[in-house]
Structure 1
C-alpha cells in the first residue's frame, strides 16, 4: 500500500519572486555573460533585480533561462551547476518555514502544499510506499528547448534543500532521468551520492523513508506557525482574483487571520457593503465566472486547512469559526473539498504515514 501527496499546483505557470532570476543572472555574469544579455527580452530591468519584493511571472523567468541556456548551453551539466546554487535561504519565507518544520517529512509536505512559493518548473509528486519515499518529477509541460536544463536545475535544487534542512549531505537511494546520459557523469555522482540511471521512463529520486522522521536541527514550533501564516497570506495575495470577485473575497477573508476569524458575512451584507443589490452582485459574479458560494468555499477551505495544521483547535471549534452551525455540516463540506475528513487531514497532511 502507498500514500500519494500531490503538489498544491499542477503547472509551472505561477508568479514567483525575483530571487531565482537574480541567481541566474549572477551565474551568467560570473561566466562572462553581461547582465543585459541575460535579461534580453524578459522585460526585467537591473533595478527590478535590486528589489527583494519584486515579483515576476513564470514566462519572464523562462526568458532569462533561455538566455542562460543560449549563452552557456555548451557547458556540460549546466543545470546541475545552477541548481546547486539554490540554498534554503534563496526561498525567503518559504525556506524559513521548511527549516523551522519539526521533521523532514513535515517540511516536504509543507513544501508540496505551498510549491507556488518556490521557483520550480518541474512539479513533484511524492509517494510513500513500503521501504521507500519516491518523488516523481513531472516535466511534461516544460518547453522542450529548456526541459533538460530545468529538470537538472530543479532536481538539484530540491536535493540541495534536503541537504540544507538536515545540515549534511543527503545520499539518495536512487535517481532516474528520462534523457540520455551526459558525456561526463562525475558531477551527478558527486551531488547525488550515487550513479543515476538515464533513458528511464520518468524523472524521479528516492530516499530512505526513515529520514522523513528525522527532527530538523533548527525546528521551532513558534517560528513554524508564524511562517505558515505568512505563507498562507502570501499565497492568498498571489492567487487573488481581480475585479468584483476580489472585492467579495476581501470581505470574506478575516482581517486578523485564523485567530480573529468570525462567521463570514452573508451575500446580502456583502452586497450592501459594495453598494449594490444582491441580485446585481450575483449577476456581476456570474459574469466573472464565479459565485458567492464558490468564493466562500475557497476562503473556508484555505482557513480550515490552516487551522487544522497550525492550531490545536478541535474540529468542532474550526467548524464554529468558519460559520457552520454543526460540525457534521463542516465535515461534509471538507470531504467535498479534499476527499477526506478534517481529522484524517490533520493526521496525514503534515505527517504522511511511512509504510
Structure 2
C-alpha cells in the first residue's frame, strides 16, 4: 500500500514510531510477498543471488533506495528512504532491512550472521525486538545492512536455476519498460552507470532530448535534477565512507568532485557531520 496512507492514519508519526511499524510488518514477510520478485527470490541459489534481487527493488517500491558496496569482508547495503518524510522513510528503511534479514533466514538460515544498522536510538527498541535484538545495531550514522562474505555462497533451500533465470529475464523486461516511462529512474541509472553524468545538459544529451525537456519531465514527476543528484551523492558517499580501507579523498574523486575540499564542504550539509566524524561514529562492519 502507499506509504503516504500511514501519515493520514498517524499524523504525528516520527522516526522511532516508523521504525517500530517497519520492523513489525517485516515479521510477517514471506518469499511470496514481493510480486514479480517472488519467483526468482524463492528459486535463488545462494544468499548472493537473494541480495542481487535488490537491483530490481524499484519495480515494487520507489520509497526505498539501496546502494551495494563490495569488500573482502562482505557486502555493505546502504538503505535510504525516498518519501520526503522522515517518519515514512523510517518505515521503509526498517521494513526493507528487517525483511532482508527474515528472507535470508527463511531461505538460507544465515540471518543470524547479518546485521541491520539503523540511525534510530537503542531506546526505540526497548522490549520490542526480542531475539532479533542481536541482529540490530542502533545509533548508526546511516542505515545499512552488512552481509558477511562467508555466507554469500551459502545454498538456499529451494534453489532452482531454471526458474531463477526465467524470473530474472522477466524482471529485466519490466525494468526496460519502466525506464522508458520514468525520467527519474533513467537519470538515477545514469548517475550509477556514468561518472560523467554530473550536470543536466550531459544527462539530457544521453537521452537525446533538450535540457529544458528533461527539466519539464522531472518536474512533472515531482523532482529536479539537482535534488536527484544530491540524493545520489549523499547515498553513495555514506555507503563508501563505511569502508575504512577507502580514503575520504578517494570517495570524493569517485563521486566526481574535482577537489576534496568541495566534498568536505558538502558532506556536513547532508549529514550534520564531517566525513571523518561520520566515519569515526560508525560501527565498522564485521
TM-score by length of 2: 0.55
Please give the alpha-carbon distance, in whole angstroms, between the structure 2 residues aligned to 1:241 and 1:96: 25
Give the secondary-structure state (helix, strand or coil) at the position aligned to 2:151: helix
- Report the counterpart of residue 226 of structure 1 in structure 2: 166
Please give the alpha-carbon distance, in whole angstroms, between the structure 2 residues aligned to 1:65 and 1:120: 16
The alpha carbon displacement at 1:99 in A equals 2.1
The alpha carbon displacement at 1:94 in A equals 0.9
Which aligned segments of 4 or more residues in structure 1 are displaced greater than 4 angstroms? 71-76, 285-290
The alpha carbon displacement at 1:88 in A equals 1.6
Residue pair 1:125, 1:136 contacting (<8 A) in 2 also: yes
- Report the counterpart of residue 151 of structure 1 in structure 2: 93
- Report the counterpart of residue 139 of structure 2 in structure 1: 199
Please give the alpha-carbon distance, in whole angstroms, between the structure 1 residues aligned to 2:63 and 2:173: 22
Decide which of 100, 108, 131 is 2:51's aligned counterpart.
Answer: 108
- Report the counterpart of residue 155 of structure 2 in structure 1: 215
The alpha carbon displacement at 1:91 in A equals 0.8
Q: Quickly say closer, same or farther: Cα 1:84–1:149, change in 2 above 3 A.
A: same
Please give the alpha-carbon distance, in whole angstroms, between the structure 1 residues aligned to 2:139 and 2:164: 40
Give the secondary-structure state (helix, strand or coil) at the position aligned to 1:81: helix
Q: Quickly say closer, same or farther: Cα 1:165–1:114, change in 2 above 3 A.
A: same
Give the secondary-structure state (helix, strand or coil) at the position aligned to 1:135: strand
Superposed, 1:14-163 pairs within 5 Å as 21=1, 61-70=2-11, 77-109=20-52, 111-119=53-61, 121-139=63-81, 142-163=84-105
The alpha carbon displacement at 1:177 in A equals 1.5
The alpha carbon displacement at 1:289 in A equals 5.1
Q: Quickly say closer, same or farther: Cα 1:189–1:124, change in 2 above 3 A.
A: farther
Please give the alpha-carbon distance, in whole angstroms, between the structure 2 residues aligned to 1:163 and 1:120: 25
Residue pair 1:96, 1:227 contacting (<8 A) in 2 also: yes
The alpha carbon displacement at 1:102 in A equals 2.3
The alpha carbon displacement at 1:173 in A equals 4.6
1:182 aligns with 2:107: no
TM-score by length of 1: 0.45
The alpha carbon displacement at 1:89 in A equals 0.4
The alpha carbon displacement at 1:75 in A equals 9.3
Please list every run of 5 or more consecutive structure 2 residues that lacks an aligned counterpart in the other structure: 183-207, 215-286
Please give the alpha-carbon distance, in whole angstroms, between the structure 1 residues aligned to 2:36 and 2:54: 15
Task: Deviation per CA, 1:130-159: give whole Å up to 9, x if none.
Answer: 333322212376422323222222211222
Give the CA RMSD over aligned residues.
3.2
Superposed, 1:275-294 pairs within 5 Å as 286=209
- Report the counterpart of residue 336 of structure 1 in structure 2: none
Q: Quickly say closer, same or farther: Cα 1:198–1:131, change in 2 above 3 A.
A: same
Task: Deviation per CA, 1:139-197: give whole Å up to 9, x if none.
Answer: 3764223232222222112222222332x361145332212223443433523x51633
Please give the alpha-carbon distance, in whole angstroms, between the structure 1 residues aligned to 2:36 and 2:73: 32
